[in-house]
Amino acid sequence: MSASTQIKPFRIEIPQADLDDLADRLARTRWADELPEDEVTDGVQKGPIQPGWEYGVPVSFVRDLVARWRDGYDWRAWEARINAYPQFTTEIDGQTIHFLHVRSQEPGATPLILTHGWPNTFVEYLDMIGPLTDPAAHGGDPEDAFHVVIPDIPGFGFSGPTRTKGWNAARMADAWAELMSRLGYEKFGAHGNDGGAVISPQIGRRHPDRVTGVHVNQIFSFPSGDPSEFEGLTPDEMKYLEFLQQFVGHSVHDKAQQAQPQTLAHALADSPAGQLAWIGQLLAGIPDPDVILTIATIYWLTNTAASSARYYYEEARAPKPEEPTTFPIGLASFANDFRPLRRFAERDHKNIVSWNEYDRGGHWAAHDAPDLLLDDIRGFFRRFR
């Protein structure tokens, strides 16, 4: 193996001076102005928009989390927890790739690469490593075991920052295929959520001979604008479209990061409270505040606000696939996330072999409905043994 393809063991070892600087900046936070509460909200939830969040992330949300970040959160405990898993780095296409690689003891385990979204990191899947790699120890069937690979997307966390332009989903998919080759996995499955649900299907498109199947939490298939596409929609399907419209319309991160990621990054790189508020728009549904703070701490310590945002810029300008996919794909859709309509999904994907909608869970199902997501992943890949 040449120097450029070496896989090197990795441990997170943050200098204390960096943590002291973070604590000092948090103690000197200058809070944003906002309207009085009775001016902001009428107390009624509007689709995905929580009461009090109509204008964006409220000061109270940020203030409470900053107080815990400063006085109650223990990064060293999380650092030790993460370092208990085998971590590595390698260079692919000129870019450092950080990843966890946890092999199952089961001889027939299926190799599986799991890809997180924005603004998450590899932390998205920490709680699922045990059940995926050792199902017998978690009440499952040993035959459902996986060898798990969980990378940080280029530009995110300990894989960042990126140093060249062009890191869109297709390029990342090629990097994942190369990563799995270096680990000795010629055939493997892929799962993704959020941005990972864009990258994972690209692996199937670009490396169909390598991927047994692709499992995602979202299928990003939307109406083209042709009025005829809306003919015959049921009332429930119209509600889905309304929820989607509200979700996309209220989420400012994609528009801002597609347009000028560097302009935004100056503020985020200088203020940990600002970084927390920016990513908090999407992470607020995660039930454990320390998970949110761990993700925010990783963004802060790695200074990857700019490079993670560039993913949106690059993907918005990448060539769009012209042909539908033909590899097996499965969807696990959760109640408080936007759901695709199957009629649009089948236009873009000709081999949907699993489609399950759940009555709980949200955009970060690995955090708030891991049991449902785990069962769905197991069930999807069971057909490919």
Residues 6+ apart with CB under 8 A from 153: 115, 116, 159, 172, 195, 196, 199, 308, 311
Instruction: Profile the chain (385 residues) by mean pLDDT over runs of 10 residues.
Output: 84 98 98 90 79 91 98 98 98 98 97 98 98 97 98 97 97 98 98 98 97 97 81 83 73 89 96 97 95 98 98 96 95 92 93 97 97 98 94
Task: Domain ranges for the chain, please list them.
Answer: 55-223+244-382
Which pTM does this prediction carry?
0.95
The whole-angstrom separation of Cα 4 and Cα 98 is 14
d(CA 344, CA 213): 20
- Six token digits for residue 45: 């939830």
Determine the pLDDT at residue 239.
Answer: 80
pLDDT at 1: 58
pLDDT at site 45: 81
Beta strand segments in 193-319, E: 211-216
**Phi then psi for 110, rounded to 5 degrees?**
-90, 125
Query: What residues have CB less than 8 Å from 309, skipping those under 6 apart?
Result: 256, 257, 261, 262, 264, 265
pLDDT for the residue 49:
79
What is the C-alpha separation between 345 and 354, in angstroms, rounded?
Answer: 12
- Separation of alpha carbons 212 and 203, rounded Å: 11
- Residue 186, classed as helix, strand or coil, is coil
Q: Tell how strand 211-216 and strand 87-92 pair up.
A: unpaired
In terms of residues, how long is the chain? Answer: 385
Q: Amino acid letter at 36?
A: P
Looking at domain 55-223+244-382, its CATH class is alpha beta
Specify the pLDDT at position 369: 98
On the question of a cis peptide bond just before residue 119, with omega within 30 degrees of 0, the verdict is: yes
d(CA 138, CA 131): 6
* pLDDT score recorded for residue 44: 81
Q: Give a three-class secondary structure readout of 86-121.
A: CEEEEEECCEEEEEEEECCCCCCCEEEEEECCCCCC
